[in-house]
A and B are shown apart, each in its own frame.
Chain A
Amino acid sequence: MLHPRIIPCLLVQNGGLVKTVQFADPKYVGDPINTVRIFNEKEVDELIVLDIDATVQGVEPDYGRIRNLAAECRMPLCYGGGVKTVEQVERIISLGVEKVALSAAAVADPSLVERAAEVVGSQSIVVVLDVKKSDWRGKYEVFTHNATKKSGRDPVEFAREMAAQGAGEIVINAIHRDGTMKGYDLELIHEIREAVSLPLTVMGGAGSLKDIAALIKTFGIIGAAAGSLFVFKGVYRAVLINYPSRSEKDALVSMAVS
């Protein structure tokens, strides 16, 4: 049987790892390569690494860093940040990355997804939707550039379009829950889950393994991603890289699906 995926998501800024709250107030949590080594030992299901400088500063992805990360990862790696062209996608995949995440560039030009999937295959193209409620009516909207730019796009309708363009996975990142550790936005996830039949990974708000169990109980096979949960410990948010053991994970999943 296919197992739900539990995925640490790491943010890179100025060459170091940081964790944000609602996409702001980055706190330094460590060195990327060291952190990957710890996650190797903990046998994580998958890893997402997002360079949060690249798009905002308008710079190329740092291919040297990506190569080093991919070589170190003994688990599948999804890289995102500053990817705008098919050539960049191709280059990143050839460095040994399994999946490339597109976000602002897919909003600006949805056909990028189709063109990239044609070369590297749909299975390696991930679209990340940074989402929050944007107006007084409480309507969800897709944002880009670290949540500073409104796209005017409705996440459900945009997810459908990305699926039609040949995306292999949708990642929903709930901006308003990021770093809050108050649980996933199940309402938002439900809307997108209904709309598309692609694999779905969600992040923003996981504060405990119970939140992940609740997510799996509701949605079955899903990617449960988290930042704070796997890099902080305790109410004072002391940096401690952590992840459930294989038996803890299996117990959590079997509890959730029973």
Chain B
Amino acid sequence: MIAIVHYGLGNVQAFANIYKRLNIPAGIAETPEAILAADRIILPGVGAFDWAMKRLDASGLRPALEEAVRRGKPVLGICVGMQILARRSDEGSLRGLGWIDGEVKRFDETTFSQKTRLPHMGWNDVAPCNGSGLFRELETGARFYFLHSYYFMARNPDHVLATTDYNGRYASAVQAGNVLGVQFHPEKSHAWGIQLLKNFAEF
């Protein structure tokens, strides 16, 4: 069973619909019990860093998530749900969860060519770089939808699962132990996204 954490942001229903079509058991989790009963967890997200942290704290679900991470359950953060896995962000002043060593930086516009604009918005190529099972059958030519102005800078390069080029390559997917994060929106990325969510379920 996959728990899709409902803490007031992100498209929980879009994940639930995809897993229903795939015939993979998944449910929207709004209680600590639902999170601890699941064997995998998705932490969705759309929005600003501090807003996400405030929502997560207010939901009362954070202790259960921390317990699930301690128990070694795979957790996948999406977009700002990935960014809050870091220790801090240029976007806000609140502390992140710190489950993956790294920080969230703003793209440096001063180094951009004229054609590169912020936010990074639209479909871009994702290149897996360490043979992670999360990208099974997505090794070449996969495109995902991005919508962000800040990116995850992992302290340990071994934590980078995939990179994307936006005026230079940055980490578009990260993993440290059982905690994973993707900057793009698999729930909004058609067949490629469905494959990634299927991979996470079988991971």
Chain A residues with CB under 8 Å of chain B are: 1-5, 43, 45-46, 67, 70-76, 93-94, 96-99, 117-124, 168-169, 197-199, 220-221, 223
Contacts and interface: CB of A to CB of B under 8 A. Distances in A.
Contacts of B12: 96
Interface in B95-134: 109, 115, 117-125
Interface residues of B, number: 40
Contact of B191 (A43, A70, A93): A43
B48 A119 contact: yes
Contact of A123 (B9, B119, B187): B119
B149 A2 contact: no
Grouping DSSP codes into helix (H, G, I), strand (E, B) and loop, the A interface class, with mixed when no group exceeds half, is: loop
B13 interface: yes
A4 B17 CA distance: 27
A73 B91 contact: no
Interface of B: 8-14, 17-18, 46-49, 51, 80, 91, 109, 115, 117-125, 143, 145, 147-149, 165-166, 185, 187-188, 190-191, 193
Contacts of B148: 123
A75 B122 contact: no
A15 to B, nearest CB: 20
B47 A120 contact: yes
Given A94-B9, A119-B47, A198 B122 contact: no
Contacts of A43: 190-191
Given A3-B124, A221-B122, 13 more contacts: A1-B125, A2-B120, A5-B122, A71-B17, A74-B18, A119-B47, A121-B48, A121-B51, A123-B121, A123-B148, A124-B147, A197-B109, A199-B122
